[in-house]
Every structure is written in C-alpha cells, then in structure tokens.
Amino acid sequence: MSVQQGKQVKQLDRVIIRFAGDSGDGMQLTGDRFTQESAVFGNDLVTLPNFPAEIRAPQGTLPGVSSFQVHFADHDILTAGDAPDVLVAMNPAALKANLGDLPKGAAIIVDTHDFTARNLAKAGYATNPLDVLGDVNDPLGAFAVHAVDLTGMTIEAVKEFGLSRKDAARAKNMFALGLLSWMYGRPTEPTVTFLEKRFAKVADIRDANIAAFKAGWNFGETTETFVVQYEIKPAPMAPGTYRNITGNLALAYGLVAGGVQSGLPVFLGSYPITPASDILHELSKHKAFGVTTFQAEDEIAGVGAAIGASFAGSLAVTTTSGPGIALKSEAIGLAVMTELPLVVVDVQRGGPSTGLPTKTEQADLLQAMFGRNGEAPLPIVAPRSPGDCFDAALEACRIAVTYRTPVMLLSDGYLANGSEPWRIPELADLPTIDPNFAAPGPQDPDGTTSAFQPYARDPHTLARPWAPPGVAGLEHRIGGLEKADITGNISYDPANHDLMVRTRQAKVDRIAESLPPLEVDDPSAEDGQGAKVVALGWGSTYGPIGAGVRRVRKAGYRVAQVHLRHLNPFPKDLGEILARYDKVLVPEMNLGQLSMLIRAKYLVDAVGYNQVRGLPLKAAEVAEAIGELISQAEGIQVDLSADATPAASPDASTAVSTQEALS
Amino acid sequence: MTTDLNFPGLRSGVELVPNSEQAQTGKEYTSDQEVRWCPGCGDYAVLKAVQGFLPDLGLRRENIVFISGIGCSSRFPYYLDTYGMHSIHGRAPSIATGIATAREDLSVWVVTGDGDALSIGGNHLIHALRRNVNMTILLFNNRIYGLTKGQYSPTSEAGKITKSTPMGSLDHPFNPVSLALGAEGSFVARTIDSDRKHLTAVLSAAAAHRGTSFVEIYQNCPIFNDGAFDALKNPDTKADAIIPLVHGEPIRFGAPDSNGLGTKGLIRDSETGGVKVVDLADLGDAVEDRLLVHNAYNPDPTMAFAISRLTDSGYLNQSPIGIFRQVERPTYDDQARAQVGEARAAHPGDRTERLAALIGGGDTWTVV
C-alpha cells in the first residue's frame, strides 16, 4: 500500500450521508456520532434515523435494515435531505433496501465481508452485484462504488486486544465511522472521548472501538481507494452557544423548564410506548428538579395519576403516542370538565391501530381536536423542529396552567428521534408561568368567609380557580358531571349546560388573545408584488415545506410560507392572512386534516399535498406541488429546474451530487 | 440490577397529615348537597359512619381528599365537606395514586363499588394494592349494578337472573378479599354496612395503616338486589353466617355454648390445604390444638387467603368478617418522595442555575 501524498481536497456546500446496516450493527450510534462530530465542527445539520419496530429483526434481511441519514452543510438547511449522496452499506440487505433512494452518481461504500452467498440470498440477490462491478451489466454502474472489507480490517486492527472474532467484528461500525470522519474532515476527539466514557468499565471493548475508529481514519488517509477528501465549511449561525439535540430530549427539557418557570413540581404519569418512551426515560433522571415520574400500569392510569397530581397542585404531564391517546381520551375529557392543568404529549407515529410504531406521521390532529365525547375543546400546540420541541413544551405548560385546561402537544416520530443544532436559550428570555393558586376570600364583617366558588372565572382568561387540597375554606368537590356555573355543584339544568359548553369553548378560544401575530414569510411582498400562493403547514413538515419554498424561489417564482404552532385555537390573524392569497397549499403527512379544519373555519379552498409513507415529506415534491399551484394562480408555465439566482455552482465532477442544492 | 431504596421507615397512615387544632363534629364533614340515594340504601349507613368517624381521626379537614369513580357509591365525595373528586369509571385508584404520590400531607380515600373497582377498574385496583400506595379504598359491594339499573356485577352469584341475563349469568364471581390478598394487599378487611361499630373499628384501623388499605363493605341495594346479605344481618342466622376475625383470637362462631363461645370454628383442612368449618364438639379434646387463632400480622398471606375462600360464591350464607391481613410493607409514594428528596439533597442550589447547566450540557460550541 503506497501512501498517497497530499490527497485532493474538494469543497462542498452540503452532503447527505446514509449509514445502513443490520439492526444489530450499531448504525444509529454511528450516525449519532457522525452527527455530533459535525455539530461540534459547526455545520448546520438535520438527521433522520429510520429503524424497524423489531429490536432485533431477523439478521441480514430487508426488514431488519436500520439506517441513519445525516444532512450537513455550510449553510442553513431545513431537512435531512431527499436523497443521500453517500450510502454506507454494511451488508447486502442494507445495499438493496436503500439503493432505490440514491441519485445517479452517488457514492456507495460497502462492507464486502458480509456479501456471502447466504446473506445475498437473504437479501434476494441471485448473484453478487460486487462481482460484476464495471461490467456492462453492472447493476451498480450508475454509482461510484467502493467495495472494502471493513469487517476484515476491523478484526485485524483490534487483534491485539484478544477479543473473540465476533466481538472484534462488532467494532466495524467504528471503523466505518473513522473512514467517513476522514473523508469529511470531521474532528475525532469527541468520539474518542465518547468511547472512553461509554466503555469505561470494559477496557478491552473500549480500546478495540477506539482502535477501530482510528484504523478507519488511517485507512482513508493512506489507501488509494479514496483519493478525495471533502471539506464542508462551518455554517454561519446566529451568535450563541449551540448543542445538537433530538426532539424528545428538547421536549423533556422543556417540561423541566416548565416546572422551573412555574415554580411547580412536575409530575409525569406515563406508560412506555414508541416513540415517546425517551421522554419518560429522560424525565426520570431529573428528580433533583422536583420531577416525579410514575410508570403506570397502563395508559389510562398514566393520565389518571397525572390528573390526580394536577388536582394536588403539580404541573402534570402524560406522554404517549397515538394509540395511547385513544386510551386516555375519556380521562382527558375529565380534565376538560374539571378544568385542571394537564400537558398531554402525543409523539405521533404511523397509524391506525399499532400502525408503524417507529415511523413518523401527523395523522392525530383530528384525534387531538375531536377525539373525545361531547363538546370537549382543548388547545393544541405543535413543535416544528427538534429544537423547537423545547419552546413548544414550555408553551404547552404556559397555556395549561394559565387557562386551567389540558393541552395537547403534538410532536411526531421524526422530531422525536431527529436532531439539529439548537441554540441554547438564555433562561432570562423564557416566559414565567404564574400558578396563581386560589386563596380564601376576605372575611365578612360577621367573621364568616364567603363560600369558595370553584367555577367562578377570571374575566380575562375565563380560567377557574385552581385550589389544591390543604387550604382551609377552599374545600370543594369536582368531577365529570356537568357543573353549575360559579358554584361547581352538579347541575342538570338545560340552560346551564348550554352556558357551560359555550364557556369551555370560549375559554379555549380566548387563548388566541395571548398569541403573537403569525409570521408570514413572503420576501416578494416587499416590492409590492406579493405571492399568490401560500404554503401553510404545521409540525415537523416545517423543514420540507421551507426547503420546497426555497427551491421555488430559487427558480424565480413567488410563494409565501406560514407555519402554525397553535392548531387550536388558530391565531387570530390566520383567516385574514389566508384571504390574501389566491391559492393555499397545505402539505401534511396525513390525508388532509389541517386542510379540513382550514376549509371548515375559513371557507378557504385549501389544496392538500398529502403523503403517508411513514417518512418526512420530500422537499422536491413539495416544490412541485407549489409550482403546480403557482402555474394555476398566475397562469404561467413553471419550470423549477431554472436557477434565477446567481449561486456558486457546486463541483459537478465529484461523486457527491449537489444537484438539489437547497434543502 | 437492584439498588438499596433506603426505605424511610414505617409510619402511621396519617402521620404526615396535619392535625386539627380544634375538636370536630360530624356536621362539619357534611356538605350542603342533598343526598340522592334511594330510600333504604346501605350507602346512607356508610356515609353516616364515615361522617361520624372522620372527626375522631383529628386531621385537618382540608387535608382529607375523597376520590371516587362511577356508580351509586361514587356520589359519596359530594356529601362530605372535604376536598374531593368524582372521577370516571374505574379510574379512582389511579387518580388517588397521583394525589398520594404528589402530596405526603393528605389523607387519601377512594370510594368505589363492585362494578367500578372489579370490572372496569380491576387493573388499577390490583396495581394500587401491589404498589401499596398510601390510601384507603372503600369498596361498597352490593353484588349488582345499581346506577345502570340492575345488571349483574362481577360479584354477583353465577346464574343470577338480571335484565341482561334473562337465562342466568354465566360469569363466575370475584371474591374481592381473595383478589386483594392475591395482589398482596398489605391491609385487607371486610365489614358490613349495618354494623356501625364494626364498620367504624375497621375504618379506624384502615386509616391508621400506612399503605393501601382495602375494605370491602357489604352494602345492601334495596332496589335491585335486596336481601343479598340477609343471612349475615338476620338475628336468627347471623351467628352461623358471620365468621369473625379478630387478631389473636381463636376463630369460632355459631350458636354459643354454655360459656358464651361459638360452637363452630376453623381448622386446617389437610385434604385441601385450606381451612374448613367444623363443629368444635367433634374435635373433643383437640380443640385447643386444632382451632385456628387469627394472625392478621402474618407476613405470609396464605392463611388469610385460605380463610377468604370460606365466603360463599353463590347466595351468601357464610362469610368471614374482619381484618384478614395487616402487614407493614414499604409504600410506593413514600419511596417515590424519598428518591426525589435524595436527588434534591445531592444537587443543592438554585433551580434556575441548574436548569441552565442542564440544557447547556453535552457537546456544545459557541458562535460569536
């Protein structure tokens, strides 16, 4: 092996890498480490983990493939990318399962070690595609394939630690990580430190992983297989301190912050469910903040205990996914009726029923909105990116406590497990939340105190008093039966019921008074030539819609973007904003749930762009949908391949495609 | 992996609840709401007993919380002037678990029925008992669904003719005490609505117990299942029907002998491994050796379970009454608070500063 003198370095503005292997191959860890290295390096990034619901699906099979996609760039990006530039495939199944997503010219790094007859058969390959590389019938002819015995070299590199062959081979993911870290000039110290910490108690495993990681780096540096190293400069970001964060972690931190900002103890009642369990895990670590976590016997007990804790004066939370919401519905209705603060977190996944536990979807909006008996309105808040889960959770806490109501916080599987650089907020900038507990009334001249009225209301918020037990004079009974206005006594009076139904609705509607004006992103409005089409979204589609909007604008067309954090009530100015546009496109990962609400409320002829594939929307497809509406609204032909802006053209000679430059 | 939980030490069920400075009366515990049970309902007797007994606890009224589910008995909290919640069907134990875990200074009571606790809420009941959350559960068992007007319940005898079972119900009934003992309840008792003295004594012991206290109260429904417990209430039959359980006392009942002691008693049954009722006369000199002495403090629930099986599953002609089991076991809520307390002690300092350190942790980088 000759040492390459001064390898070529090519500049790229962005790269999408997908690590793929068997579910036991450690691909999530590999992707996560590469992400951390890129974050520390200063690139902007977005990640997309994608794994099967089975913990260890049958080895070597297509259903068992686990992957982690990371998109990193020298500029602000919004999505994990539509198509990978580089695929790292640890076995034949990983190659086959991901090949269809690769654009022509993409680079593939395959571990040849697992391309055995048995594994090829399991993946459905009649012949080994690596045997015919470069032939006329090469099925991989459109790609730049690097066939490397990653496992074999890993075993060789860790020989000195005396591990079994099986254990030695398990470090192959770190070899792959080392190789990719070299290719993209990633800093290696964070990963070495990470491995030292993670395997502190098993010296041989620790040393083997570090050795494999370094061997992978050195292999890239010395071998002739890889002649080019790539450089992706740090992205300019707003000043501040950053960390990489997943949605579930940010959401858990937001709930801890809710406790600190309200001065209340946090109580989480929860039952484990994918993809929400990590919030339970995380909150269970924060008892020092006065957080109590209760792993209940079922979903209903989880919300039941939270309602009890809320009655007792805690900031109460229950976390789950769609199927859990279905089970909790009756209890959430009780919280609506008793008007107790409660944050209900729904990390949405593919449905119905058990559906796609590890895949993303946003098809619980109507369940959140209407999934209870009777007129049972509750506020709905949705984060738009992993880091935004922090702010959204805090907002849910604010609404719940201020308005004495259950609040639905709609995250999803993509936000939960995906990550992005997050600017760590200054605590002074966070809102404070006033629990404003009820106090006994003033004494009358005769020494008696007027009776406590548990259903009297604050004139501004329409909230009722929150009176946890322990205060003399505020003894009261609440429950699921209809309440008489003001006194809270049981009432079957028809006029009272009508009043109370309207009052509960009015209270939720009143929240709109506390919301800031919507941000409308329409650069073309400045020159008085506003867009005729607006793309309206909510939740995790913010990234793909934003990326699609950028593509459309880059091609020289006008489009506005509005993204909703509050789904109930809608911001006060939404109707007026939508009325400004000829066409309203609503991209969603469902069959048109926000569209339905918008059409019903504003009589707007909203057009849906809907995909339910268990994956984030693709920016290119959103752009096409926008282009179609622009074409209709403006009566013009729309060609999105045009480039109306002078931009530095990417190096077309590399194997790394940068054709989709704006994602 | 397990860890030493540093159990904070056993205490009385109400030790952390503040005491009232003044003597209280039953009237103070009576709310201004009109009681709306049917005339003759056994619930009235229980309500009166509870209103009469709560002042004796000497606790501050504002630190007492009654939680119920759905059913006739679940209206109970409305009639007591304490804090209370009339919740949803079967879920009262879960709501009470949240309250008891969140607040050590509250005396938490659950009022439930045979349908609420054993049918729709069966899961929450057994898990509350398993965890031993500090609360007292009063299960009003009338062996019928009252509020929905007369369908059979999970404690109704098999073959019962009701509106929903015109040819007789097919379900084998639960024995609530056996179920609670099977879930390793730390305090399990049974009493009767009409015996105020016994009812009050059992409630006092239940309130004093730290952990989940489970009290089954036989309660007559005069509308849909009248007379279900007549054998235990009729002066002519009750001596043979009630098997009284008193800790430390031999278990004997039936018509009194010349010394005023019951002529029947419980002995071990070597054939079944359980216990059986015998005429003590048949034992001759062996009475002393073989007659069972009730031990509610036995850490092993096996004997208590065997005694619980003497309750008829069909029409009730015989049933043990009293405290079956009363043992000390760490409670969930004490331990949950201890963990929070331990974590807080290990991380002193301002919460805001610690929050800044938490969210600013991990691998960070700064852009200037």
Q: pLDDT tens-digit profile of A99-142?
A: 999 999 999 999 999 999 999 999 999 999 999 998 888 999 99
Q: What distance in Å separates the CA atoms of residue A257 and residue A424, rounded to the nearest whole number?
A: 13
Output the six-digit token pair for A428. Answer: 């002074």
pLDDT value at A653 more than 70: no
pLDDT value at A663 more than 60: no
* A495 part of contact set with chain B, CB < 8 Å: no
Predicted confidence band of residue A447 (pLDDT cuts 50, 70, 90): low
Compute the average pLDDT of residues A25-35: 94
Q: Are A425 and B359 in contact (CB under 8 A)?
A: yes
Q: State the DSSP string of A118-146.
A: HHHHHHT-SS-GGGGTTSTT-TTTTSEEE
Q: How far is B98 from chain A (nearest CA, A)?
A: 4
Residue reference for tokens 């003759």: B40
* pLDDT at residue number B362: 82
Q: What distance in Å separates the CA atoms of residue B193 and residue B202, rounded to the nearest whole number?
A: 11
* Number of alpha carbons in the 13 Å side-chain half-sphere of residue B352: 11
Give B364: exposed, middle or buried? Use CB within 10 Å, 0-12, 13-18, 19+. Answer: middle
Give A165: exposed, middle or buried? Use CB within 10 Å, 0-12, 13-18, 19+. Answer: exposed
More confident residue, B8 or A12: A12
* A473 part of contact set with chain B, CB < 8 Å: yes
| Cα Dmax for chain A | 102
Q: How far is B61 from chain A (nearest CA, A)?
A: 8
* A244 part of contact set with chain B, CB < 8 Å: yes
Amino acid identity of A275?
P
Output the six-digit token pair for B186. Answer: 């730390």
Rg for chain B, CA atoms, rounded: 23
Task: Kindly list the residues from chain B whose CB atom is less than 8 angstroms away from the CB atom of residue A288.
Answer: 343-344, 346-347, 354
Chain B interface mutation, best of A237, A311, A430, highest count of B Cβ atoms under 10 Å: A311
Residue reference for tokens 């599987």: A413
Q: At B165, is the secondary structure helix, strand, or coil?
A: strand
Q: How far is B23 from chain A (nearest CA, A)?
A: 15
Q: What is the mean pLDDT of chain A?
A: 93
Q: At A48, is the secondary structure helix, strand, or coil?
A: strand
Backbone angles phi, psi at B55, to 5 degrees: -60, -30
Question: Is the torsion defined by CA of B140, B142, B145, B148 positive or negative?
Answer: negative
Output the six-digit token pair for B214. Answer: 């489970």
Q: At B52, is the secondary structure helix, strand, or coil?
A: helix
Q: What distance in Å separates the CA atoms of residue A340 and residue A359, rounded to the nearest whole number?
A: 32
In 3D, which of B103, B100, B101, B71 has the Cα closest to residue B87?
Answer: B71
Task: Kindly list the residues from chain B whose CB atom is less than 8 angstroms away from the CB atom of residue A42.
Answer: 365, 367
In 3D, which of A40, A95, A101 has the Cα closest to residue A72?
Answer: A40
pLDDT value at A631 more than 60: yes
Backbone angles phi, psi at B363, to 5 degrees: -75, 115
Task: Kindly list the residues from chain A whose CB atom is less than 8 angstroms away from the CB atom of residue B358.
Answer: 253, 256, 286, 289
pLDDT value at A657 more than 50: no
Q: What distance in Å separates the CA atoms of residue A574 and residue A580, rounded to the nearest whole number?
A: 10
Residue reference for tokens 């904070």: B8
Nearest to A475 among B81, B97, B100 (CB): B81
Q: What distance in Å separates the CA atoms of residue A85 and residue A12, rounded to the nearest whole number?
A: 11
Nearest to A239 among B33, B344, B367 (CB): B367
CB burial of B120-144 (b: ≥16 within 10 Å; e: otherwise) equals bbebbbbbbbebbbbbbbbbbbbbb
| B84 contacts A308? CB cut-off 8 A | no
Task: Kindly list the residues from chain B whose CB atom is less than 8 angstroms away from the CB atom of residue A245.
Answer: 362
Chain B from 40 to 69: CB within 8 A of any A CB: 60-65, 67
Give percent helix, percent strand, percent coil of chain A, each to the nearest 5: 40, 20, 40
Backbone angles phi, psi at B325, to 5 degrees: -150, 140
| A257 contacts B102? CB cut-off 8 A | no
Output the six-digit token pair for A258. Answer: 């809710």
The DSSP output letter for A231 is: E
* B346 part of contact set with chain A, CB < 8 Å: yes
pLDDT value at A58 more than 90: no
pLDDT value at A179 more than 50: yes
* pLDDT at residue number A6: 65
* B3 part of contact set with chain A, CB < 8 Å: no
* Residue A450 β-bridge partners: none
| A267 contacts B105? CB cut-off 8 A | no
The total of other beta-carbon atoms located within 10 Å of residue A142's CB is: 13
Q: How far is B77 from chain A (nearest CA, A)?
A: 7
Predicted confidence band of residue B222 (pLDDT cuts 50, 70, 90): very high
pLDDT tens track for B162-217: 999 999 999 999 999 999 999 999 999 999 999 999 999 999 999 999 999 999 99
More confident residue, B264 or A1: B264
Least confident segment among A217-226, A583-592, B205-214: A217-226
* pLDDT at residue number B2: 61
Task: Compute CA distances B155 → A540, B308, B312, B313, whole Å.
Answer: 50, 14, 11, 8
Q: How far is B80 from chain A (nearest CA, A)?
A: 9
Output the six-digit token pair for B146. Answer: 């009252």
* pLDDT at residue number B119: 97
Output the six-digit token pair for A542. Answer: 């913010």
pLDDT value at B76 more than 80: yes
| B365 contacts A477? CB cut-off 8 A | no
Task: Kindly list the residues from chain A whose CB atom is less than 8 angstroms away from the CB atom of residue B366.
Answer: 240-242
Residue reference for tokens 């403006």: A634
The total of other beta-carbon atoms located within 10 Å of residue A384's CB is: 23
* pLDDT at residue number A403: 98
A240: left (phi over 0), alpha (psi -120 to 50) or beta: left
pLDDT value at A151 more than 90: yes
* A246 part of contact set with chain B, CB < 8 Å: no
- pTM of this prediction exceeds 0.95: no
Amino acid identity of B305?
F
Compute the average pLDDT of residues A280-290: 98
pLDDT above 70 covers a percentage of chain B that reads 97
Predicted confidence band of residue A651 (pLDDT cuts 50, 70, 90): very low
Question: Is the torsion defined by CA of A645, A646, A650, A651 positive or negative?
Answer: positive
* B87 part of contact set with chain A, CB < 8 Å: yes
pLDDT value at A268 more than 80: yes
Report angle CA A376, A377, A378 to the nearest 5 degrees. Answer: 120
Whether complex ipTM tops 0.85: yes
